[in-house]
Amino acid sequence: MTDRYCVFGHPIGHSKSPAIHAAFAEQTGETLEYTAIEVPLDDFAGAWRRFVEAGGRGANVTVPFKETAYRLCDALTPRAERAGAVNTLILEADGRTRGDTTDGAGLVGDLKRRGVTLSGARILVLGAGGAVRGVLEPLLAEAPARLHIANRTADKADGLAADFADLGRVSGGGFESVEGPFDVVINGTSASLGGDLPPLPNDLFAPGATAYDMMYGAEPTVFLRWAAERDAATIDGLGMLVGQAAESFCLWRGVRPDVDPVLGALRRAL
C-alpha cells in the first residue's frame, strides 16, 4: 500500500503543499500520496483518526489547527513543546502520534540560503501569534545581538518575550516600543493578508538591512513595498513554505529534498 500523507486546514483549497510534496517525492524517488483535506472546525481529532485508519502515516497542519494538533499529540519534540503549536504529525510504529513544528527551521533556512546573517544581528519580529511563537527558538539559536517582538497588544508581546527569555536577549512591547535600527525585520502579522501595514517608524532599517514577510504572493506585500522604499532588501515567505515542507518530508521519509528547484518552479508559477 502506498504511504499516505496530507495537509489539514480550513480552508485548504489554496494549499501548495500537495504540489510541493509531489515534487519532493519525484526528486527523491520516494513513493507516496499527498492530498489536501479540509477539516470541520470542530472535528480535527476525528479527521486525523479517520486518516490514520485509511492508511495515513503523517500530516501537515495549517491554520487554524496548529494549537489543536499540539493538544492531540501523544508526544512532542522539544521545539514543538516550546512553540505550543504543531505543524507536522508523525504516526509512530506503535500507533502513537508525535508532533513537531518545522516553521522555524523553514524560516531560518530560507534566510541563510539568501545570505542573511543572523548571528550578532539586531532582529525585530512583528506579531505575537502562533506563527511568531513557532520561529522564536530557531531564531534565538542563531545568537542574535538582540531580538525584539512588537505587537499591537503589548502585553502579548511581553509575555512571549518572557517565555523565551532563557534562550537569549529578547524583549517585547507594542508597536510604539520599536526603536531601530534593525538588521533583520520579520513580519509575522496577518496584516499583509488585508493589505495593511503595522505602524512602524521610518528609521526602522539599518544600512544593508533585510525585510522578510512570512506571507507571499505574485506581487510584493505592502510591507515589502514599504521596506523597499526605505532601501531594505526584501524576501517573501515562499521559501519558508518550501523549507518547512522539506523539513516535514525529511521527518517522514528520512531523506532531505533539495529546496531550490521546487522553490524556483513555484515562483515561476505564481
165 shares a domain with 246 = no
Give me the mean pLDDT over the 245-253 stretch.
Answer: 98
Q: Which residues are part of the catalytic machinery?
A: 66
Same domain? For 129 and 228 the reply is yes
Residues 228 and 246 in one domain: no
Query: For the chain, first and last CA: distance in Å?
Result: 34
Output the CA torsion sign for 39, 42, 46, 52: positive
Question: Angle 238-253/103-113 helices, nearest 10 degrees?
Answer: 120
In the chain, how many domains are there? 2
Write down the residue that cell numbers 515567505 correspond to. Answer: 237
Clarify whether residues 113 and 224 are in a common domain: yes
C-alpha to C-alpha distances, 211 to 163, 188, 204, 220, nearest whole angstrom: 25, 11, 10, 12
> Has 151 been labeled as part of a binding site?
yes
The predicted model scores a pTM of 0.94
120 among the known binding-site residues? Answer: no
120 lies in the same domain as 221: yes
Q: Which CATH number characterizes residue 62's domain?
A: 3.40.50.10860
| Residue pLDDT, tens place only, 120-157 | 999 999 999 888 999 999 999 999 999 999 999 999 99
Residue 260 annotated as binding site: no
Is the predicted pLDDT of residue 193 greater than 80, yes or no? no
Enumerate residues 6+ apart whose C-beta is below 8 A from 116: 184, 210, 212, 235
User: Helix 17-28 crosses helix 259-269 at what angle (to 10 degrees)?
Assistant: 140
Count of CB atoms within 10 A of residue 40's CB?
A: 9
pLDDT at 260 over 90: yes
Task: Find out whether 16 is annotated in a ligand binding site.
Answer: yes
**Is residue 211 marked as binding?**
no
Q: Is 214 annotated as a binding residue?
A: yes
Q: What is the CATH number of the domain that holds 130?
A: 3.40.50.720
194 confidence band (pLDDT: 50, 70, 90):
confident
Q: Which domain holds residue 110?
A: 104-236
